[in-house]
Amino acid sequence: MCGIVGAVGFVSPKDYVFNGLKMLDYRGYDSAGVAYFNNGIQIFKDVGSVEHLLSIVPETIDTNIMIGHTRWATHGAPTKLNTHPHLSFHEKICLVHNGVIENFKELRGFLTGKGYRFYGETDTEIIANLLEYYYLEKGEIIEAIKTIMTLVKGSYAFAFFTSEDKNTLYVIKKASPLVIGLGEGFNLIASDASPMIEHTNKFIELDDLEFGIVTKDKVAIYNKKGEQIKKDTISKDVELISHDLKGYPHYMIKEIEEIPQTVRRLMAKYYQDDKYQFDPNLIKDLEESDHIIFIACGTSYHAGLVGGRYFEKYDKSTSRFIASEWAFHPTYPGKKPFIIMISQSGETADLIHCLKIIKEHNLKNLIITNTGGSTLDRNAMYSLLLYSGIEVSVASTKAYVAQVTLLAMLAAALSNDTKLIDDLTDSLDVIYDIQDHYKPLIMKVADEIKDKKNLFYLGRSFDYFLSLEASLKLKEISYIHSEAIPGGELKHGPIALIEKGIPVIVFITDPDTAASMRGNIEEVKSRGAKVYTIATKSLSKPEDTIMVEDYAYYLSSVAVSSIAFYLAYYVALAKGLNVDKPRNLAKSVTVE
Ligand code: G6P
């Protein structure tokens, strides 16, 4: 996934584009570049951060038009040459791209045959040249756009300008997001509305296979046949798309602390007048299904593990799969299976692959996502939004809690179980208590474990699912090797790794499994492990590390996940790592 920004007619395009790139670098951050028009096309790009890019561009840039890009490498390593924007061979087209071109090798072969030469390895450079080829052949940019839309396979949001017109930005979209922001005497573009909200709250969202011609006073949208079409303008909820750090040093901690309001917002959206508020057709389809399959990746998969249990509580049989596994061996037991996909970004390629299979088999399906307008939101049969507000930090926190909360509410809606709402409300008190009282203690633990190479999380049942997420979070941002083990499984292998001083972090919040977990603690302690126990008060022992107020045990992932998130955060901080942008990861992985 990559981020695109652009402006035409804006009074200070440099400020807009650079601020925008910083906001969009959650979409990828291995290299960044900008292009503008000033005595011809000027391009500045390099490997590294947007801050670095800012240090290599001129202090003052006099231009009417600018495009920028922040990249997460797919085709071609993160090198300067592969960084966007890309300039075509005859220097007529300057283009940025978000997406993946599937047939770029074939298109490159075609262009090579026409005498074109390439300086990098990206699929994007091929498109800049393809556009140029047809622009030169047809003498008309609209004709060139129409032609390439019939030729290019894959996903794309393109933004470009030509060397012959410094007043016009062109955008083309298929399966990657592209939003146009309408201003007075200027117009803006970006991959999402957040960079533009400071300047306008009037947007046009391009649909697939549409393109736009954007000048400072006019925006014209066309379908793939080149016919101009009318599009509605929309506005956005400023609170939900704001990138304001609100005084926090990092997005991750801001997002952890937004968890209570995220849960509250979900309760307000999907539970009103003492009733759950879900599409009756969705509820009917879920009721009629005889098996529910949860499919997701990473953190969202962990939310699916918890969610599956919730549906089993209401007598639904379920199975849960990692998307990339299911895609290569799709199974759908039962006569009427129903698929629930979960994705914070709504753009994860592994899950999009699954949706293709799901549709081929005409299976009923739902996506739970935080990103309205994303590929999965647009293409699934049903969609439920998480309304968590934008999640910038790569490590997902508030969206995970929102996923679990929404799954709990959806499952409870099947039998109108309203006790859940009381339980969720009680769990908010636990979260506030953690925020108010336990951070110093968590920091102390972070300090003790920060130099360790390996550690373990232990739990059973809901506490095991939470352990999986706690472990992933620590791994993602602190680079400590960590594994989550179900307490009962310890003796079947992992116990061989327990040695003197190894940290073992244990969750004990479930009365049914507490006694067995205490047994596990003795097993690892006797082999020299340094145990940190997080327990609810009624299940706690004086030697435990953190004791939180009791809550409905099945809500571990809502009530006490904050402890795991803070711990990962403070360890990464203590190690001096880039908390919000861990190495090698991207907020959304749009390649399989
Ligand atoms: C990436 C991120 C993970 C995330 C996963 C699924 O791998 O690094 O943190 O959980 O994608 O993302 P999704 O947007 O589908 O929830």
Supply the pLDDT for residue 37.
Answer: 96
pLDDT of 118 strictly over 70: yes
Q: How many CA atoms lie within 13 A of 33 on its CB side?
A: 24
Supply the pLDDT for residue 591.
Answer: 66
Q: What is the rounded average pLDDT of the residues 5-14?
A: 95
| Domain of 183, in residue numbers | 3-236
- Same domain assignment for residues 35 and 149: yes
**pTM, to two decimals:** 0.84
Cα separation, 85 vs 489, whole angstroms: 51
- Which of 251, 350, 401, 588 is the pocket-test mutation for ligand 1 (most atoms within 8 Å of CB)? 588
Q: Is there a domain that residue 428 lies in?
A: no
Amino acid at 119: Y
Q: What is the mean pLDDT of the chain?
A: 95
**If pLDDT is split at 50, 70 and 90, which confidence band does 587 have?**
confident
Give CA torsion, residues 260, 262, 265, 267, to 10 deg. -70
Q: Does residue 2 have an active-site annotation?
A: yes
- Which of 251, 301, 342, 344 is the pocket-test mutation for ligand 1 (most atoms within 8 Å of CB)? 344
pLDDT of 181 strictly over 70: yes
Q: How close is the Cα of 277 to the center of ligand 1, in Å?
A: 28
Q: Is there a domain that residue 589 lies in?
A: no
Please say which residue of 359, 383, 417 terminates a domain.
417
- Same domain assignment for residues 335 and 399: yes
pLDDT in tens, 278-315: 999 999 999 999 999 999 999 999 999 999 999 999 89
List, chain by chain if needed, residues with CB within 6 Å of any ligand 1 atom.
297-300, 343-345, 348, 351, 394, 396, 585, 588-589
Contacts for 498 with CB less than 8 Å, ≥ 6 apart = 456, 504, 523, 524, 527, 528, 529
Peptide bond into 337 cis (omega under 30): no
Report DSSP letters for 69-113, one per residue.
EEE--SSS-S-TTTSSPEE-TTS-EEEEEEEEETTHHHHHHHHHH
Contacts for 410 with CB less than 8 Å, ≥ 6 apart = 270, 276, 278, 286, 310, 384
Which residue's CA lies nearest to atom 4 of ligand 1? 298
Cα separation, 322 vs 156, whole angstroms: 26
Q: 153 to each of 127, 174, 281, 291, 297, how far by Cα in Å?
A: 11, 9, 35, 35, 25
Q: What is the rounded average pLDDT of the residues 381-401?
A: 95
Q: How close is the Cα of 571 to the center of ligand 1, in Å?
A: 21
Q: How close is the Cα of 300 to the center of ligand 1, in Å?
A: 7
**If pLDDT is split at 50, 70 and 90, which confidence band does 67 have?**
very high
Q: At 465, which CATH number?
A: 3.40.50.10490
Q: How close is the Cα of 363 to the center of ligand 1, in Å?
A: 24
Please state, for a pLDDT cut of 70, what percent of the chain lies above it: 99
**Catalytic hit among 2, 94, 297, 354:** 2
- Same domain assignment for residues 157 and 136: yes
- Same domain assignment for residues 375 and 444: no
Supply the pLDDT for residue 13.
Answer: 94
- Same domain assignment for residues 26 and 128: yes
Backbone φ, ψ for residue 8 (5° rounding):
-135, 130
pLDDT in tens, 130-168: 999 999 999 999 999 999 999 999 989 999 999 999 999
- Which of 192, 299, 375, 390 is the pocket-test mutation for ligand 1 (most atoms within 8 Å of CB)? 299
Q: How close is the Cα of 348 to the center of ligand 1, in Å?
A: 7
Cα separation, 431 vs 484, whole angstroms: 22
Q: Is there a domain that residue 573 lies in?
A: yes
- Same domain assignment for residues 249 and 187: no
Q: Is there a domain that residue 126 lies in?
A: yes
**If pLDDT is split at 50, 70 and 90, which confidence band does 590 have?**
low
Number of folded domains that form the chain: 3
Q: At 125, which CATH number?
A: 3.60.20.10
Q: Does residue 525 have an active-site annotation?
A: no
Q: Which atom of ligand 1 lies closest to the CA of 299?
A: 10
Q: How close is the Cα of 347 to the center of ligand 1, in Å?
A: 9
- Same domain assignment for residues 284 and 389: yes
**Catalytic hit among 22, 236, 316, 587:** 587
Which residue's CA lies nearest to atom 5 of ligand 1? 298
The continuous run of DSSP H or E covering 324 comes out as helix 323-326
Supply the pLDDT for residue 378.
Answer: 84
- Same domain assignment for residues 213 and 299: no
